Amino acid sequence: MLGGDLVAVWEVALSDGVHRVEFAHGTTTGKRVVYVNGQEVVRRDWLFKLVGKETFSVGSCNTRASVLIEAVSGFSYEYSLEVDGKSLQKFTHDRDQTSKTWLLKVEGEDCRVVLDKDTMDVWCNGQKMDTMGEFVDDGTETHFMLGEHEGCIKAASSGKRQSGIVHHLLLDGQKVAASTQ
């Protein structure tokens, strides 16, 4: 698909899933091609300026991303990805603070459930779920359905100032372990 010009690949975890960003750079022609999840989203042929920036959208929420191309020395280049105006590393760190992800199997199918703590939206495999929130004695519960199964994200105080509110996913009343992505 990309041929010999592929120079960088990144994975961007968003609420609607993990997206693969690939960048091809023809250092003799100046050609630049950006692919998101295998789909070409940017193509520039015959650019005389070999350094610069290509901006595009990622995911169903059209999150802004940019590939930065910088000359290191001679004809070697360094490539980095910015998401929402931040380095991928900073974006991922900030995202870890504002979301929680669980990976589980439901009826033999892999499910990636993401809670966006800022909006309290719940996503499953890239689809925003219909939810119903309610206040309970020890915090809040956000209810939703995963097929025929009842999902519930419980939010309660950790009792510790550093960790603040903790979130747990229950599927049919059983606690599901959190994921790192």
pLDDT value at residue 181? 57
Check: CB of residue 44 under 8 Å from CB of residue 55. Answer: no
Write out pLDDT tens, residues 96-130: 889 999 999 999 999 999 999 999 999 999 899 99
Beta carbons within 10 angstroms of residue 15's beta carbon: 22
Q: Which residues of 106-116 are buried (b: 16+ CB within 10 A; e: fewer)?
A: beeeebbbbbb
pLDDT value at residue 94? 93
Q: What is the pTM of this model?
A: 0.83
pLDDT value at residue 49? 78
What domains does the chain contain, in order, with CATH numbers?
A: 3-84 (2.40.128.180), 99-176 (2.40.128.180)
Phi, psi (rounded to 5 degrees) for 15:
-60, -35
Write out pLDDT tens, residues 102-111: 999 999 999 9
All residues at 6 or more sequence positions from 33 whose CB lies less than 8 Å from its CB, including other chains: 2, 5, 23, 24, 40, 42, 43, 44
pLDDT value at residue 162? 73
- 3-state class (DSSP) for residue 24: strand
**More confident call, 164 vs 16:** 16
| Nearest-angstrom CA–CA distance, 84 and 131 | 27
